[in-house]
Structure 1
């Protein structure tokens, strides 16, 4: 009997699973069909979003490319691409409901195997750090943010994690005359990672005003096009532009409650199987295990594609292991950065070479046409 694998999410994890199944599993299991459901018609290399909001630095096609053409290379009937968002799941009936622009009541897809790779959105609506909506909405958000950054002389970035650090550095690198304030609620940047001190020094070299242990408690429009921030310290700060980068909200609202942890992430075992269901796996930011990162997501995608292949062959699944060495890299503008390979510091020049030079945008085309794998 033909087997249908439904993959929810067309970002880093979902597209990686889809191409791997079609390239490496399909030749041995010709009765497999993959249905990829993505709320965005285009793949988004969101790792480069921090640079894409700088005016005139990144072209749209460098980080946004259509998904469908890359899937057309596979045998007819082996893959279906659906632009829509999952709205509900029935694990007993093995069906998933999908809202699409062309179907008023949505569509229902049956599956034999399901992969949840729906990722997470920025906690603050409207920020382009993740693909929260359609392709047109995302492009509009990127362009609007870039225009506001270009027009502002004073910018406050909230969030001392990697996104906040990188976007504040990108702004200051491109516009040295602008005042850029980075607010970090924590006592150290990037969650107190071993690189925190070096990252703070790099930001200091650029002239970013780093304020630790302070968060924006309230943001109000002052009626004249500026934002009045009330800080947790009691201080008020008037800024031309407020960019919140704090927090992720997993896209898991459509899943049954018993699929989820207390934090609304999907609860999976060591094989990335959802504990509460049969034949369902989850990866990436919807899981955030051990933490949200590109390397973790890619490894999980490879492991889940392999495990689906093993199940199709009637074999036992394998544990999906974390990367052998924990790698953390944070850019500070287009010239420098800080990172570590396990406990070993990575020199700034190496950070620039492996990440900061392009932020990996050369991989956008490789993801959509499958040559990444």
Structure 2
């Protein structure tokens, strides 16, 4: 009898879990079938989106690769790839309804993996891969054109994405004014590396405004954007790039499996609470927080637990990293970072993250050789 595992989401977590199940678990669970559902036909390496908005720096092939091609080595009876999005679910009946180009399709599962991630509140910026490959690439090209034409750019939100975006822009363009707005008194939420990151950005020429919470923006008659701050100040800019605000892609799920801000509630095994045979990994769980390194550990842990369950064994707690790393690139040369509370050298941040923003790992993710 076929054991069907439906994986929702074709980004970092969904890709890794699917490959691990097919490469390792199916060697002994011969009737295993993995169905991977992704709104995007390609894996979008969104970690590099902050650099991809700069024209001529990264090619489409460096940030995007075909999922179907990467999984083509697996037999048809073991794997199915569906380009579509989850519209609804009945977790008691163990079904999910998928919207595809050819209409709706209902999938039955033995185990369900939730890896649909999160999205930015503003859907006009390419920080997340929430759309088709064609939509994302068109958004990137449009943003690149706006970046090239702008003389003044406002980056709103001084978390990691905002800091890295401001750094990338000012590193490339010394003749453009780049303003970074932080709602908090310090960038990066006052993290221990906030001062180092601010220093690196100021060296590049980024203007940082703290305690500057955005409460609204509107496009003016001449095509510029007027950004309104909480204190009443208004800033007129050629290009407004918001980076703040994350929302879970969980609308297709019942309320009983969600926690604050609609993220999915999981236990120490990354099994979804209040329902059977449902697992989650990556940003949709936001546990302890959304990050690439956390997603890697969660995906590996969920794949391992599914392997154990399918072999009649009990799951084990998912082990995250024993340390808490936080690395923030500031342009293509330097950065700021820490491991736990200990700061690391700028050059180390560049070598570990800033040099490629992980794009060198894209081929290994797609074909499964990284796992």
TM-score by length of 2: 0.99
Shift of residue 55, structure 1, vs aligned partner: 0.7
Q: Which residue of 2 aligns with 1:11?
A: 11
- What SS class does the counterpart of residue 166 from structure 1 fall into? helix
Q: Which residue of 1 aligns with 2:30?
A: 30
Q: Which residue of 1 aligns with 2:68?
A: 68
Shift of residue 282, structure 1, vs aligned partner: 0.7
Q: Which residue of 1 aligns with 2:351?
A: 353
Output the CA distance in 1 between the equivalents of 2:248 and 2:95.
21
Shift of residue 262, structure 1, vs aligned partner: 2.6
Output the CA distance in 2 between the equivalents of 1:56 and 1:91.
45
> CA-to-partner distance for each residue in 1:104-147, whole Å, 9 max, x for gaps?
xx000000000000001111111100011111000001111111
Q: Which residue of 2 aligns with 1:162?
A: 160
Output the CA distance in 2 between the equivalents of 1:46 and 1:16.
16
Q: Which runs of 5+ in 2 are unaligned?
A: none
> CA-to-partner distance for each residue in 1:15-36, whole Å, 9 max, x for gaps?
0100010111110111100000
> CA-to-partner distance for each residue in 1:147-196, whole Å, 9 max, x for gaps?
10110000000001000000011000000110000000011111221111
Q: Which residue of 2 aligns with 1:340?
A: 338
Which of 323, 326, 329 is 1:328 aligned to? 326
Is 1:55 aligned to residue 55 of structure 2?
yes
- What SS class does the counterpart of residue 136 from structure 2 fall into? helix
Output the CA distance in 1 between the equivalents of 2:360 and 2:260.
37
Which of 107, 110, 115 is 2:108 aligned to? 110
Output the CA distance in 2 between the equivalents of 1:54 and 1:142.
9
Q: Which residue of 2 aligns with 1:44?
A: 44
Output the CA distance in 2 between the equivalents of 1:116 and 1:84.
14
Q: Which residue of 2 aligns with 1:144?
A: 142
- What SS class does the counterpart of residue 284 from structure 1 fall into? coil
Q: Which residue of 2 aligns with 1:366?
A: 364
Output the CA distance in 2 between the equivalents of 1:52 and 1:20.
29
Q: Which residue of 2 aligns with 1:255?
A: 253
Output the CA distance in 1 between the equivalents of 2:26 and 2:130.
31
- What SS class does the counterpart of residue 358 from structure 1 fall into? coil
- What SS class does the counterpart of residue 19 from structure 2 fall into? helix
Output the CA distance in 2 between the equivalents of 1:300 and 1:109.
24
CA RMSD after TM alignment? 0.8
Q: Which residue of 2 aligns with 1:202?
A: 200
Q: Which residue of 1 aligns with 2:20?
A: 20
> CA-to-partner distance for each residue in 1:173-220, whole Å, 9 max, x for gaps?
000110000000011111221111100100110110001111222211
Q: Which runs of 5+ in 1 are unaligned?
A: none
Which of 222, 225, 228 is 2:226 aligned to? 228
Q: Which residue of 2 aligns with 1:77?
A: 77
Q: Which residue of 1 aligns with 2:311?
A: 313
Shift of residue 236, structure 1, vs aligned partner: 1.4
Shift of residue 91, structure 1, vs aligned partner: 1.2
- What SS class does the counterpart of residue 128 from structure 2 fall into? coil
Aligned residue-pair number = 371
> Bigger shift: 229-238 or 59-68?
229-238
Counting only pairs closer than 5 Å after superposition, residues 287-306 of structure 1 correspond to structure 2 as 287-306=285-304
> Bigger shift: 78-87 or 186-195?
186-195
- CA contact 2:115–2:280 (8 Å) conserved in 1: yes
